[in-house]
Amino acid sequence: MANNQIRVVLAQTDPVVGDVAGNTRKVIAATQQARQEHDAELVVFPELCLTGYPPEDLLLRPGLLKRVDKALQTLCQQIDDITIIVGHPLGEVGKELFNAASVINKKHITAQYLKQKLPNYGVFDEKRYFIEGREATIIEINQFKIGLTICEDIWFIEPSSQAVDAGAEIIVNLNASPFKQDKTQLREAEVGQRARENNVPVLYVNQIGGQDELVFDGASFAVNAIGEKCVQAIQFATALVPITLHKTEHGIELSGPQQPLMEELETVYQALVCGLRDYVEKNRFPGVVIGLSGGIDSALTMALAVDALGAERVQAVMMPSRYTSQISLDDAAEMATILGVQYRNINIENLFQTFLRELEDVFAGTQPDATEENIQARCRGVLLMAISNKTGAMVLSTGNKSEMAVGYSTLYGDMAGGFSPLKDVYKTLVYKLARYRNSLSAIIPERIISRPPSAELSADQVDQDSLPAYEILDEILEAYIAKDGCFEDLVASGFDAETVAQVIKMVDRSEYKRRQAPPGIRITGRAFGRDRRYPITSGYTVTSTIE
C-alpha cells in the first residue's frame, strides 16, 4: 500500500476470561483473516484481550501472568508480515502490574503502552490490581504516527493530548467497555470531543460477548479529526472492521463500513440474548430449564432463551397449584407449542398438601399468609433444581428488577436458578420488550401481555394487591436506586409520601435476598450486584413524618 495510505482492521472479538491460550488462538486467527481478506497492515484488538475482561482476582494469580508471557511469545513467533496491537496485563503480582497494550511486528514486541486512567467506580475496580502508566507511546507504520490509549484514557483530555504532543497523527483506543442503555451515544460524544480537541482521527475498538453480569456490545467505530463518525461496526457480533486512512492535503481521511445502529429496544433485547447465550456457552451448560407460570416474565425469559440457544436446548415446566388459572395453563402451553420447546406439566398440589400436613402442628392457631404462598414457590424451586441436577440444564430465574428491588420474590423458590436474564429489567420494560419481540414474530400470546400480572399463590391474587402500580413503582425505584434519591426529594418531586416510604422500606429490607440471588445481565448504570453495594445490616432508615 502507498506511503500516504494505511489499512487498519479493528478486531471486535469475544474473549473468554482466563482462557489465555484460547484467546491467543483467536488473535492469531483474526490476524490471518484480516491479512488475507482485508490486506491489513495493522490489526487492533480490545483491552486485555489475552485474558478477557474483567479478569478480576485472577490477576492475583502469578500463574495467569505466566500464561500471558507465553501467549506473547507465541504471538511473536507467529506474527511476522503484519503489525498487531493486543491488550494484556504486564508486570508482577504484588509489585508493579499494568493494564498494557503490546505492539508486535516482525516476531518482536516493538512497543508497549501502559494505561494511564484506571476506572474505579461502578463495575470497575482496576485500582485494586493495576498502577497507572505515565508515558505516551507512538508507533509509526507507513509514515503514519499512531498514538495508543486504552479505554478510560479516552474519557480524559490528558492521555490523547500527551500522545499528540509526542507526534501522534491518529489515536487508537483499545476497549472493554460494557453495555448499558445509551452507552453508544456517550462513547461517540466523548470520542468525538477528543478528536476535535486534538484535531486527529480516533479509532475505537471494543470487545463483544457476555461475562457473568456484564455484556459487551462491540459497536467499534472511528471518527475523523472533526469528530464525525466515518466507520461503524456491527453490534453484538464478532467482526473485522477494515478502515482505510489516507493522507491528503486536507488531513487524514477515513473510509470503512457503516453498519446501522439498532433502535433502543432491539439493542436491549440483543444485549440480553448475547449475555444469556455466552453465560450458557462459556460455562458449558447443555441447555436451560425454565419454570413457566403463564405470566409475562417467564414468557419473555423463554423467548430470550430460544433466541439465544435454540428451542432444542430449552426445557419449559408448568407447575400448577390450586390457585393456577386455566388461562395461565392455556397460555403457557400455547407459547411452548409455538416455540417448539420441550414442555412438561407437573402439578405441585400433592407436594403442597404434604408440606401443609407435616407442618400442621407448627401452624396450629395461625392464619394462612405469605408462608403458604412461599411453600408453593419452593415446591417449584425443588422440582426445577431436580431437573437441572438430572439433565445438566441450568435453571433460569425469571424475576425482574422491580420484583428484585422490593423483595417480591421467594428465596429458594422463584429465585432459585443459575442465571437471571431479567435481573436488571424493570417490569415496565419487560412489557415493552415483549411487544418488541412480538413485532418480529408473534410468539407471546397477547393475553399474557395484556392481563394483570399475578403470582397466583393465593385466591384472586394480583401484584397490585401488594405493590404500587408498576408505572409508579418503577419511577420511584429508578430515582431511589439509580439516582440515590432521598425520601424528601422524591416526595417533593410529586410522589405520594406514603407510597415512597413503603417502596424505600421494601428496597432496604430486601438486601439480604438480593445477596443470595443468581447473577443477571447488567443493562443499566446501576444494576444490583457490582454496581450497587449496600450493607445488609444497617441502622440507616427512612425518616419521614408518616413513620
151 in active site: yes
What is the spatial order of strands in the sheet that 229-232 belongs to?
A: 138-141, 144-150, 170-175, 202-206, 221-223, 229-232
- The CA distance from 56 to 264, in Å, is 30
Using alpha carbons only, what angle is made at residue 329 by residues 328 and 331, rounded to the nearest 5 degrees? Answer: 65
Considering the domain boundaries, does residue 318 fall inside one?
A: yes
- Is the same domain home to 313 and 206? no
What is residue 452's predicted lDDT score, i.e. its pLDDT?
Answer: 74
Q: Domain ends where: 236, 260, 284?
A: 260
247 in active site: no
Give the mean model confidence (pLDDT) for residues 140-169: 95
Considering the domain boundaries, does residue 494 fall inside one?
A: no
- Is the same domain home to 300 and 380? yes
- Is the same domain home to 78 and 215? yes
- Is the same domain home to 314 and 167? no
Considering the domain boundaries, does residue 490 fall inside one?
A: no
Longest CA–CA span in the chain (Å) reads 90
Considering the domain boundaries, does residue 532 fall inside one?
A: no
- Is the same domain home to 245 and 279? no
Checking if the pLDDT of 459 tops 70, the result is no
- The CA distance from 345 to 356, in Å, is 22
- Is the same domain home to 378 and 353? yes
In CATH, what number is assigned to the domain containing residue 429?
A: 3.40.50.620
Annotated binding site for ATP: 291-298, 398
Lowest mean per-residue pLDDT among 217-231, 237-251, 352-366, 453-467: 453-467
Considering the domain boundaries, does residue 504 fall inside one?
A: no
Using alpha carbons only, what angle is made at residue 217 by residues 156 and 282, rounded to the nearest 5 degrees? Answer: 120
- Active-site residue among 47, 152, 169, 373? 47
- Is the same domain home to 229 and 315? no
Considering the domain boundaries, does residue 539 fall inside one?
A: no
- Is the same domain home to 243 and 289? no
Considering the domain boundaries, does residue 121 fall inside one?
A: yes
What is residue 144's predicted lDDT score, i.e. its pLDDT?
Answer: 92
Question: pLDDT band for position 2 (50/70/90)?
Answer: low
Q: State the total domains in the chain.
A: 2
What is residue 530's predicted lDDT score, i.e. its pLDDT?
Answer: 82
Considering the domain boundaries, does residue 540 fall inside one?
A: no
- Is the same domain home to 287 and 240? no
- Is the same domain home to 283 and 249? no
In CATH, what number is assigned to the domain containing residue 211?
A: 3.60.110.10
Lowest mean per-residue pLDDT among 143-152, 400-409, 525-534: 525-534
- Active-site residue among 151, 230, 274, 379? 151
49 in active site: no
Give the mean model confidence (pLDDT) for residues 336-350: 95
pLDDT tens digits, residue range 242-252?
Answer: 999 998 888 89
pLDDT tens digits, residue range 274-327?
Answer: 999 999 999 999 999 999 988 999 999 999 999 999 999 999 999 998 888 889
Checking if the pLDDT of 93 tops 80, the result is no
Provide the domain limits for residue 381: 266-466
Annotated binding site for L-glutamine: 121, 177, 183
- Is the same domain home to 224 and 300? no
Annotated binding site for deamido-NAD(+): 374, 403, 513
- The CA distance from 342 to 337, in Å, is 9
Q: Domain ends where: 407, 441, 466?
A: 466
- Is the same domain home to 220 and 295? no
CB 393 within 8 A of CB 387: yes
- The CA distance from 543 to 538, in Å, is 14
Q: Domain ends where: 417, 440, 466?
A: 466
- Active-site residue among 26, 115, 117, 401? 115
Provide φ and ψ at 495, rounded to 5°. -80, 150
